[in-house]
Amino acid sequence: MAYRQGACLEELCPVCGDKVSGYHYGLLTCESCKGFFKRTVQNSKKYTCVENQQCRIDKTQRKRCPFCRFQKCLNVGMRLEAVRADRMRGGRNKFGPMYKRDRALKQQRNSFIQNRRFRLDSSSLLASTSQQSDPPPVAICYSLTTNQPPSLSTLLPSALPAANQYQCTPSSDWTIKSENSNNCACLSGSAAGSYIHSDDPHSTPFSTQGPRMPQLVMEFLRCDPDESQLQDKITTRLQQVHGDHDTFSLMCVMADETLCSIVEWARASIFFKQLEVSDQMKLLHHCWSELLLLDIISRQVLYGKEGSLLLVTRQEVELSDIICHADPSLATLVLQGQELIQRFQILKADRQEFVCIKFLILFNPDVKELEDRGFVESVQEQVEGALLEYTLISSPQYLGRFAHLLLCLSELRSLSALAEDYLYRRHLNSQITCNNLLIEMLHAKHSWR
DNA sequence: CTAGCCTTGAAG
DNA sequence: CTTCAAGGCTAG
């Protein structure tokens, strides 16, 4: 029985990596692991491992150690209960609805991912209309190399051990399957939510009772900086600056500090630390303003109140004050930002979703001259998958939520491009001073064209 | 024992 | 009726 194509395109058995033949005992597995699991459970087989119970199980070596094979079956989530005690044939069991749901989830995920290209094209189109891209900007002689080393490169480690590539914590068993001949590393879980296959028995990739959060989202949350810690850090740094700063330059200092924390966050983040430093720099140079804007927006949506702008420092500034003191361009930007905040508020976007969006922004495969675009692409796809899955679990009654979030992201991108242009113009007028990272970032993109 | 193919039968 | 995940069979 060929498994219906389309539902799962190139799904591999989570136990041995062989071709999947359908759902067996709780998840998609290959025919041989299905049979192996059945024999083991039906006949109450007991195996022993002659090694250290950590044998690698793949298609060619799966026969070698039945102990570790069975262990892996259980670890990836195969269900003992699905093997029938009475050996009754045919029919359906209680897992039926679960399979159906998982299949629907996968299908939606695939179709969204397939639409990704189109969506990105249209969003970059949107962004480019707001930028005078063709003629290179004013010839300002500002060489990064003649200055002190750019702060981003000092913030990023100068070298990474090569062995670090594609590796995560040694404790977790991330299976990375390369697709075709390119080095597109792709972590793919078999059942819903199984992004992480670990030997930890608590990380059951599939749960029948109650909704659960995708593992990737949980990992993102775990590494997301704590708002109050960030607050303290930036507040102390701001106090050190003090002096004759007007509101705008104070905001710039704040942006600069926030940028530092964004770089720190990225450095410590899963996936990002696997990249070469050159790629890390390219990604950050490309998306810094988007991340900065998302930081501001998410703060308003999660903690802010209407009519005022909540700063990292927990200070509140009346919007009306900002608008009447701002020049017309800035006022427009603030108003547009306000609209975007409202859109996120209507959606009631939560921390989980913002943290996924952060990763979607960071891992942008459209960035030019990436060494390892395949990896960036695969991360982007995984994050999209996790976000989609999260939205389907958290608000199953609203299927369009994921698409709406992506729409907001695309608007955020065009707004950040406008904001970046605005900052760049003010920088050219020497109105932004003493903000190393901010200035480096402002120059990075312009020196590329 | 393994793993590919076959048969079964409740659910949709 | 069809679907498809259970169990069954058997050559290698």
| pLDDT at position A250 | 79
**Strand C positions within 7 A of protein Cβ atoms:** 4-9
DSSP A48: -
CA of A411 and C1' of C7: distance in angstroms?
Answer: 54
- Residue A348's region, left for phi above 0, alpha for psi from -120 to 50, else beta, is left
CA of A184 and C1' of C5: distance in angstroms?
Answer: 33
| pLDDT at position A31 | 97
* Strand C near-CB residues (< 7 Å), A 94-133: 95-96, 99
pLDDT, chain A, mean: 75
List, chain by chain, residues whose CB lies under 7 Å from nucleic acid strand B: A 1, 18, 30-33, 35-36, 39, 43, 45, 62-63, 66, 88-92, 96-97
**Strand B positions within 7 A of protein Cβ atoms:** 1-5, 7-12
| pLDDT at position A100 | 84
For strand C, is any atom closer than 7 Å to the CB of A348?
A: no
Query: Is residue A350 a contact partner of residue A356, using CB atoms and an 8 Å limit?
Result: no
What angle is formed at CA A370 by the lines to CA A368 and CA A372, rounded to 5 degrees? Answer: 150
What angle is formed at CA A419 by the lines to CA A357 and CA A405, rounded to 5 degrees? Answer: 25
Q: How far lies A160's CA from each of A64, A192, A273, A277, in Å?
A: 35, 33, 9, 7
Q: Closest nucleotide to residue A92 (Cα to C1')?
A: B10
For strand C, is any atom closer than 7 Å to the CB of A84?
A: yes
CA of A90 and C1' of C2: distance in angstroms?
Answer: 14
As a whole number of angstroms, the distance between CA A396 and CA A204 comes to: 22
| pLDDT at position A435 | 59
Query: Is residue A234 a contact partner of residue A257, using CB atoms and an 8 Å limit?
Result: yes
With b for 16 or more beta-carbon neighbours within 10 A and e for fewer, the A218-246 pattern comes to: bbbeeebeeeeebbebbbebbeeeeeeee
Joined together, the tokens standing for residue A30 give 């290959």
Query: Is residue A55 a contact partner of residue A74, using CB atoms and an 8 Å limit?
Result: no
Query: Is residue A152 a contact partner of residue A443, using CB atoms and an 8 Å limit?
Result: no
Nearest Cα to A55, choosing from A41, A39, A71?
Answer: A71
Q: Closest nucleotide to residue A88 (Cα to C1')?
A: C7
Supply the angle between the helices A401-428 and A351-362 in degrees, to the nearest 10. 60
For strand C, is any atom closer than 7 Å to the CB of A43?
A: no
Which helix (H) or strand (E) segment is A311 a member of? none
CA of A21 and C1' of C7: distance in angstroms?
Answer: 16
Which ranges of chain A have pLDDT less than 70? 1-10, 105, 108-212, 241-245, 430-435, 445-449
All domains of chain A in start order, with CATH: 9-85+96-109 (3.30.50.10), 215-448 (1.10.565.10)
| pLDDT at position A426 | 81
Supply the angle between the helices A66-76 and A31-42 in degrees, to the nearest 10. 100
For strand C, is any atom closer than 7 Å to the CB of A5?
A: no
Q: Closest nucleotide to residue A65 (Cα to C1')?
A: B1
Residue A422 annotated as binding site: yes
pTM of the full structure: 0.56
| pLDDT at position A446 | 63
Could you list the beta-strand ranges (E) of A234-357.
308-310, 316-318
As a whole number of angstroms, the distance between CA A347 and CA A342 comes to: 9
Task: Considering only CA atoms, give the Rg of chain A.
Answer: 25
| pLDDT at position A102 | 79
CA of A384 and C1' of B8: distance in angstroms?
Answer: 40
Nearest Cα to A24, choosing from A44, A5, A3?
Answer: A3
What angle is formed at CA A95 by the lines to CA A92 and CA A101, rounded to 5 degrees? Answer: 115
As a whole number of angstroms, the distance between CA A277 and CA A370 comes to: 11
CA of A31 and C1' of B4: distance in angstroms?
Answer: 8
| pLDDT at position A145 | 27
Label residue A114 exposed, middle or buried (CB < 10 Å: 0-12, 13-18, 19+).
Answer: exposed
Residue A198 — φ and ψ, nearest 5°? -120, 165
Query: Is residue A417 a contact partner of residue A333, using CB atoms and an 8 Å limit?
Result: no
Joined together, the tokens standing for residue A66 give 């039945």
| pLDDT at position A156 | 65
| pLDDT at position A243 | 60
CA of A206 and C1' of C6: distance in angstroms?
Answer: 19
Q: Closest nucleotide to residue A66 (Cα to C1')?
A: B1
Joined together, the tokens standing for residue A161 give 């051990």
Joined together, the tokens standing for residue A386 give 């996790």
